[in-house]
Structure 1
Amino acid sequence: MINKDIRLGKGLGKIKFGLTMKEVEALVGEPEEIEESEEEDDFEHEAWNYWEEGYSLYFDKEDDYRLSCIETANREVQLWGERIFEMSPNQILQLFADNDMNDPEEEEMEGGETRISFEKEMIDLYFDDEQLIAVNFGVFIGDDLEVKWPEK
């Protein structure tokens, strides 16, 4: 379906943050399922799920429904040329450290998973028993809370 390189703050392969729903559909086709956010959610959004490929693409109403976040469980995705789903949490932390990102936050989730976040880089890694199960990453936000859309 798509190039599987995570580009922090920019997107996944040719799927770039900031694309409209129409642009995304032209690139990757119709989603298998579209989920609307619940009314009690903090952010109104639409999630496009591509279950077979292992991707969910998030469009926030606040951002005029432009692509702002991607979640993936696709085991073939790469970050800095490494297949992170085949790595241990320590190897992944070392990979981030090798790329000058040394301030992870770790949190135990209600379901028993562990979330490791690099807030400035807008990426969350979810682990279950030392196994990476999902990666969620989004467009960068400046110190002024302004969205930093990547160049088209």
Structure 2
Amino acid sequence: MKENEIQLGTGISNIYFGFSIDQVKDIMGEPEEIEESDEDDEFEHRAFNYWEKGYSFFFDREDDYRLSCIQTEDDNVQLFNVNVIQKSTEEIKDLLQKNNLKDYETEKLETGELRWSFEQEMLDLYFEDDKLIAINFGVFINDDLEVQWPSEGLA
């Protein structure tokens, strides 16, 4: 994978879903912050935040703390070979439709952000003032709710 290229269901750059905490730290270094989920959260997890680099990596307890989700605000991140952060909703909609991502739900969040959720693709896009500001994407899950770990990077 190219640097900063999101591969849906797989990961980003040379970081793949299914990686251990140590594998991510070997690539990214020590996180600036580690968050533990609250006891009342539906999914127990740890989040490793790299604020300066614009990344957060999520490791679910249920999956033995393997990497299952990534959130990024990195201006250099690419989706379908296009830099997408700060693109308008119209530009993003065109890009997604060209790549057959058409089925999504829209929600206005309490924070004022607009979220587009692509359930099948495990992708959430966050917009503010008509510009894409963050992307959250995860490992694919099949219809039986089984995690579909990518084969890349796990050898």
The TM-score by the shorter chain falls in which range?
A: over 0.9
What CA deviation, in whole Å up to 9, does each residue of 1:47-99 have, x standing for no partner?
00001100000000000000000001111100011011142111111111101
Residues 34-57 of structure 1 show CA distances to partners (whole Å, capped at 9, x for unaligned) of 111111111100000001100000
Q: Displacement of 1:118 after TM fit?
A: 0.9
Query: Hey, what does 1:8 align to over in structure 2?
Result: 8
For the 8 Å contact 2:105–2:118, the answer to whether it is kept is yes
Structure 1 segment 53-92 matched on structure 2, within 5 A:
53-92=53-92
Aligned to 1:17: 17
Query: Which 4+ residue blocks in structure 1 deviate beyond 2 angstroms?
Result: none
User: 1:84 & 1:133 partners in 2: Cα distance?
Assistant: 9
- Which residue is 1:40 aligned to? 40
User: Per-residue deviation at 1:29?
Assistant: 1.2
Instruction: State how far apart, in whole Å, the 2-side matches of 1:104 and 1:96 are.
Output: 10
1: distance between equivalents of 2:73 and 2:14?
A: 18
Q: Which residue in 1 is equivalent to 2:120? A: 120
TM-score w.r.t. length of structure 2: 0.94
Query: CA RMSD for the aligned pairs?
Result: 1.1
**SS of structure 2 residue aligned to 1:93:** helix
Which structure 2 residue ranges, 5 or more long, are not aligned?
Answer: none
CA distance, structure 1, for counterparts of residue 32 and residue 3 of structure 2? 19
Match of 1:27 in 2: 27
Whether contact under 8 Å (2:7, 2:79) holds in the other structure is yes
Between the two proteins, the alignment pairs up a number of residues equal to 151
Say which SS state the counterpart of residue 74 (structure 1) adopts: coil
